Chain A
Amino acid sequence: MSAQGSVKGWPVTDKGEPATLIGALASNAAEVPTRIGFREREYGIWREWNWVQVLDDVLALAAGFEMLGLTPGRALTVVGDNRATIYFSMLAANVLRAFSSPVFPDVPVSEFQMYVRFGAPDIALAEDQEQVDKLLDLREKTGHPATIVYDDPRGMAAYTQTGLIALSEVQARGRARLKAEPGLAADLVARAQPEDIAVLLYSSGTTGTPKGIPLRHRNVVGGIANAKAGGYFKEGERLFAYLPTAWVGDFVFTLGAGTILRSTINIPERQETALHDLREVAPTFYLAAPRAWDNMLTRVQVGIADSTPLKRRLYEYFIPRAIDLERRRLKGQPITMGDRINDWLGNILIYAPIKDYLGLSHAERAYTGGEAMGEDTFLFFRALGIKLKQFYGQTETCALSAAQVEGSVQINTVGRAMPGVEVRIDDSGEILIRSASVFEGYADNPEATAEALTPDGWLRTGDAGYLEPDGDLVVLGRVSELVQTAGGDRFIPNFIENRLKFSPYIRNVAIVGADRDHLTAIICIDYEATGYWAEQRSISYSSYADLSQRSEVLDLIAGEIVKVNELQPAPLRIRRIVNLHKDFDADDGEITRTRKLRRKVIEKNYAVLVNALYDGSSTVMFDATISYEDGRQGSLRRDLNIREV
């Protein structure tokens, strides 16, 4: 054990726990010195750092970065994939009361400038030659960063530009300095304060220039304490660090929670080997975006489709039953002895091998968040026995606001507010959050800060939602998309539409109901899936239009509507539907090229239809104008059936 392991003197919270990431790191080195803190796969084997070694490396890097001129309150631009040394450097910046500002590695040079606006970054850490090239281009344009530190020396030998230095060299210099100045280590450990900025992240920037979001040690430590109190995080987890470092999820869930809760952070060899390495790690805590879970499900399904008959049949026997069982379990319906035996057998034959294959057999805590997740995917993984849960949070709240609790998991909610987090819905339907993890304002942007934070410390999330009677939070969408029925009930058409589109039979749908008494829907069936469904049942049809008006198909779609209606509050249930004779088409201007609905155009084109949906008639004659691809216009008269739900 080195001399630093016994160093104390970091700031603590009122509970006596370390109040900064650096304090947590130092306390790990002092109290669990031999526990493995980081593992990184390198040339096929895992290299390990225990907490003493982590602290040694971080302090050496800090001493080195200080020699390069990293001063308190300045940003260290970090760009690259997940690497242990990059994480160490991020902590080293914190040691010096500076902060890291991670940038997505795929940001092109032209956009890079947007991500170096705050904290006057003059030192940048690049993972490899590719990122160094970008930073050199950036320096040509803006004059900064003066110093570029690179982690991977491959391909760097020929570079003669000034201000280039290898990270190992920074560390070696720091180590020499630590040796020469005996009191330095103790001094470094005690520097960081809870009020210091721990990391500077950027908002997604879908609605303009990304805003800088500084998160302080206080926020991160507080948020993780909340999540721990709620049982969402545990001490001593095995984490898998594969998320982009510039995403709040990686900083808080991996580096932050890993350090504070003494977990082992496992870093894959490369992005391409992440799936393989995941299986070697078998993490106990796993966070992935809904899209990643969807991909995982697809991988399994493709593998099964290609599998041998016995294995495939077993899968096809057990999985639908497991999903059905999970659905009933979530609804609180009784489970029979037969179900249990079936589930036990299924686990041995199918679920456990699939979990093992995915590397999730030990994943006690599995999370998803960021956007809505399809029910099929959600139920599939829960049916396998992976207790997948949704969480809700913004970068502004360290992503730690609410999460589902085992026992009251519902697909349409994002769960309850974590302990220590207050959630309130204001009069306009916006979700407001107050918690220790809420940030203090955007970097150099008082107007945006004033907009986002109320004077008494509530964060305006910009999300619309409501609280269910049992305290579960339902997030509907962005406040800007909110509309009202004539009865004054607020809803977001897009939210309901997305939920309907999770059905394989519905390709497009437009919800009508703004300033009306109730909701109705114009539906475009999915020709392939519905056609296949019809063929299976010997229902004949000649075309899309013909198929869409079959009463069996209307029944099928009505059934899908009923399912979604179950999750809707009573006044916001869809009452009447009509199947359109064609799909919405970008050529007709009904959807954009990226398949987003153009509501105005639809309401104008189908005004006759909308009126019929509300006047109680059971069929409507519709003159459809058709624009051919050569620009000519034609017209077609159709009888469309309207169905009550």
Chain B
Amino acid sequence: MFFRKAGISHTRYQDERQLWPLPIDRYAVVAVLVLMIAAPFLVDRLYVVSYLLPLIIWSTAALGLNFLMGGAGQIHLGYGAVIGIGAYTSVHMMRAGVPLEISMIGGGVLAAMVGIVFGATALRVKGLYLAMATLAMQYIVDFVIIQFPSISGGTQASLSVPPVTFLGFAVEGDKAPYYVALFICAIVTLFMLNVRRTSLGRALAAVREKDYAASIIGVDPFRYKLLAFWVSSFIGGLMGSVLAVCFYRAISPDQFHLDLSIQLVAMVIVGGLGSVLGVYFGVALILFAPIVLNQLIGAISEQFGLSITNDLRAHLPLMLYGGLIMGFLLIEPLGLAKIYGNIRNYFLVWPFRHSRQ
């Protein structure tokens, strides 16, 4: 109904492979980008700081994890630790006077280096065993950070981020951190959208589907699995640094525990493995569903004067939240991205059932 395909023709193959061949998709992308850029001027700072900023940061981090899980088919239960490595590395570098830009990359590189050490186990173990190996990474990293005061800054301590600038702009107040995060998010998103069209993306897909079949057709699983861990961990480390600078401002070990890892995995799975757009949906659901449900139940109980016990009042949103995730995955095991795709297809072939030519 909304999609128009008549009159779209190409004179070069490059044009045919563009990311958004339909004009309406391009308009939508531009509209979303403009809205995101204008958001700090349109909505209250509370919404920017406590809703949009986390959405952007967690989405970018989840994109990094999705690259590994959806792109290369390797499970990772220690992604929170990867982010932690990046956060601690970059904060220490900044405190030592290194500029933010270099600290970000430094955080990414160290996270990537540690990441591929554990990723190397993926060459020998798969599935549940890889999950255990990465879980081990989570605990080892947690342990190391807490046990070495030179890293954590001492027990119960938190490391605060010194005042920094990004590309010449001071990262302070509410707007600057938002734009830094948005900038990084845009770059990572573009990378993710395009990587699928490159030989790297296709090689990873081959490894994902069956690693020894990939090696038969000349794709070296050793190289590409390590590369997947490297890239994914680099993005995780980078986002650790963004998280520290733009969101937390002061980091402590408990921010990077197992629950963060699990939450990220949930975001990716609910959103849809391998989908870029799905990640945003997944993150939005995981982040906001508890808040919205909580307020909804609060409003309902007040409106109708229901006498809900405090216990139930606290737990009902969580139960509904769990039910929601299960519901979505029952309807469509391929995640929110697939649900969106189904709806899109419904309108794409309107008023017919299939695309027919």
Contacts and interface: CB of A to CB of B under 8 A. Distances in A.
A45 B352 contact: no
A353 B351 contact: yes
B351 A306 contact: no
A281 B11 CA distance: 12
B6 A353 contact: no
Contacts, number: 75
- The DSSP consensus for interface residues of chain A is helix
Nearest to A279: B6
B13 A45 contact: yes
Interface in B37-80: none
B13 to A, nearest CB: 6
Interface string A10-49: 0000000000000000000000000000010100111110
A333 B10 CA distance: 45
Contacts of A349: 1, 351
B150 interface: no
Interface in B1-27: 1, 3-13, 16
B357 A306 contact: no
A147 B245 CA distance: 79
A307 interface: yes
The 5 closest A-B pairs by CB, nearest first: A282-B7, A282-B6, A280-B9, A303-B352, A311-B351
28 contacts: A41-B9, A45-B13, A45-B16, A280-B7, A282-B6, A282-B7, A303-B351, A304-B351, A304-B352, A307-B351, A308-B346, A308-B353, A311-B350, A311-B351, A314-B351, A348-B1, A349-B1, A349-B351, A353-B351, A354-B351, A356-B3, A356-B4, A356-B5, A356-B6, A357-B5, A357-B6, A359-B7, A361-B7
A275 interface: yes
A361 B4 contact: yes
A428 B322 CA distance: 87
Given A275-B357, A308-B353, A311-B350, A353 B1 contact: yes
B351 to A, nearest CB: 4
Nearest to A355: B6
Interface in A619-633: none
B357 A281 contact: no
Interface in B201-232: none
B356 interface: yes
Interface in A308-332: 308, 311-312, 314-315
Given A45-B16, A349-B1, A281 B352 contact: no
B353 A362 contact: no
A360 B6 CA distance: 8
B286 to A, nearest CB: 31
A311 B8 CA distance: 25
Contacts of A421: none
Contact of A44 (B8, B16, B357): B16
Contact of B6 (A39, A45, A299, A362): A362
A276 interface: yes
Contacts of B346: 308
A27 B8 CA distance: 29
Given A306-B352, A354-B351, A45 B10 contact: yes
A303 B346 CA distance: 14
Find the residue from A44, A276, A306, A356 having the highest chain B CB count within 10 A.
A356
Given A303-B352, A308-B353, A315-B351, A46 B10 contact: yes
A15 B8 CA distance: 38
A356 B354 CA distance: 15
Nearest to B4: A356
Find the residue from B3, B6, B7, B11 having the highest chain A CB count within 10 A.
B6
Find the residue from B10, B12, B16, B351 having the highest chain A CB count within 10 A.
B351
Contacts of B350: 311, 353
Given A47-B11, A281-B7, A357-B6, 8 more contacts: A45-B13, A46-B11, A276-B357, A280-B9, A282-B7, A304-B351, A307-B352, A350-B351
Nearest to B353: A307
Interface in B316-357: 346, 350-354, 356-357
A311 B353 contact: yes
B6 A359 contact: yes
Contacts of B3: 356
Contacts of B8: 280
Contacts of B10: 45-46
Given A306-B352, A308-B353, A361 B1 contact: no
A361 B351 contact: no
Contacts of A47: 11
Contacts of A356: 3-6
Contacts of A276: 357
A279 B10 CA distance: 12
Nearest to A278: B6
A613 to B, nearest CB: 47
Contacts of B351: 303-304, 307, 311-312, 314-315, 349-350, 353-354
Interface string A544-568: 0000000000000000000000000
A410 B5 CA distance: 32
A279 B5 contact: yes
A376 B4 CA distance: 26
A41 B11 CA distance: 9
A41 B357 CA distance: 17
A303 to B, nearest CB: 4
